Structure 1
């Protein structure tokens, strides 16, 4: 089993940051067939993320590849998923070598990771080249844009909307709010998970690390996601397969989950996923 370790804050070298269209990404290759793909949350950048730095250090220590990218400010969640898939395909799946992917999604990045993993495993051009080793959600939330639309639709909240832009208050934004386009929220509806039937099989382990004090993604949403995942795992795996959906609850944790003790738990989950190298063929489409 891999050891746990402490991260030191680092900067991703500007000359190593690449782009695909308007999307910045960072790829560190290794001799391993396993690559960790980190997907940041809404309006979060891998360049300033404590979790991104920690994950990169972990991959360096264990000779695992590392791939991460930012999101377009506008477009839609559907477009963000396609952009992430395009980066993975171009960087990792352009050769004949089989690749193992370990997804880590922060907040809304969990939603993207589930979508991207599904698209890769059902794309006839790449499905034989890739195995999804596992997926870890940190403070993971899905269908976030629809929850925000419901929040916006409550007249008693006195929301600040002008010219199709919602100034949604946020403690994570330097100016105290995010400017969110209503068109972005509505255009993201085709990517919704929980009320959709287009994903009916999940054949890899999923670990959800969540804080009991998370006000951004309440526990009720996490339990709903966990139930959704389990229904799509157990219906497509052998009856002898043990439960592949896990919730790691941090009783005093909030949404960020970037404290040393939070990152130590993340290490433990990473180690578990990285050790499961000989998954049954039924885990891969």
Structure 2
């Protein structure tokens, strides 16, 4: 079955305009909101990967009448706190506070690259935390939700998807763990699981 869809890179990502270092969660969320409010008609199913999955969850909270389902791939919810800030040493925290930017290395031992993280991103993201003690008790999402995650993901632990499933208000939650998959979830067999989830979510709301 064919579907009408919009696929896009948010600000500072992929081929979109802007620089990654200049963006915050609020900026990226504004991009998602723009697509939902201005470029779509009728109900929408949101699909997001990694940081995009966190944005999809936030958007689902903001647009409960519009978003009829969410599918996440390796959801990096609260990554700015749990995967970056909480892992910083006190010295690293002082550096990013003073300089405004700090280069963070990947958890992947095969990756020798680092990427710049701004203190503005860390601070702005506090408004959107979902899993920490600083956030709400439950996640106010009531639509069907499929959480797909690779057990071999060393960038974003699969336990984050399990915690989302526990905290979300929706009772229509499915967690799919792929034992031999990593963070990218881009293999043909991984994509087949995504396709199946699209069919399953849409059938659950008929």
Q: Distance in 2 between matches of 1:200 and 1:139?
A: 18
- 1:212 to 2:151 alignment: yes
Q: Distance in 1 between matches of 2:137 and 2:125?
A: 15
In the TM superposition, residue 101 of structure 1 has moved relative to its aligned partner by: 0.5
Q: List runs of 5+ in structure 1 lacking aligned partners.
A: 3-61, 94-98, 122-126, 234-242, 279-285
Q: Distance in 2 between matches of 1:177 and 1:160?
A: 16
Q: Which runs of 4+ in 1 moved over 4 A?
A: 157-162
Q: Distance in 2 between matches of 1:200 and 1:223?
A: 13
1:48: which partner in 2? none
1:142: which partner in 2? 77
In the TM superposition, residue 176 of structure 1 has moved relative to its aligned partner by: 0.9
TM-score normalised by the chain length of structure 2: 0.81
TM-score normalised by the chain length of structure 1: 0.60
Contact 1:135-1:204 at 8 Å conserved across structures: yes
- 1:271 to 2:199 alignment: yes
Aligned residues: 192
Greater strand proportion? 1
CA RMSD of aligned residues (A): 2.8
1:10: which partner in 2? none
Q: List runs of 5+ in structure 2 lacking aligned partners.
A: 13-19
Contact 2:33-2:59 at 8 Å conserved across structures: yes
**Correspondence list, 1:21-170, <5 A:** 62-72=2-12, 73=20, 74-93=22-41, 99-121=42-64, 127=65, 130=66, 132-147=67-82, 148-153=84-89, 163-170=99-106
In the TM superposition, residue 91 of structure 1 has moved relative to its aligned partner by: 1.3
Contact 1:211-1:257 at 8 Å conserved across structures: yes
1:81/1:198 CA distance change after superposition, 3 Å: farther
In the TM superposition, residue 67 of structure 1 has moved relative to its aligned partner by: 4.1
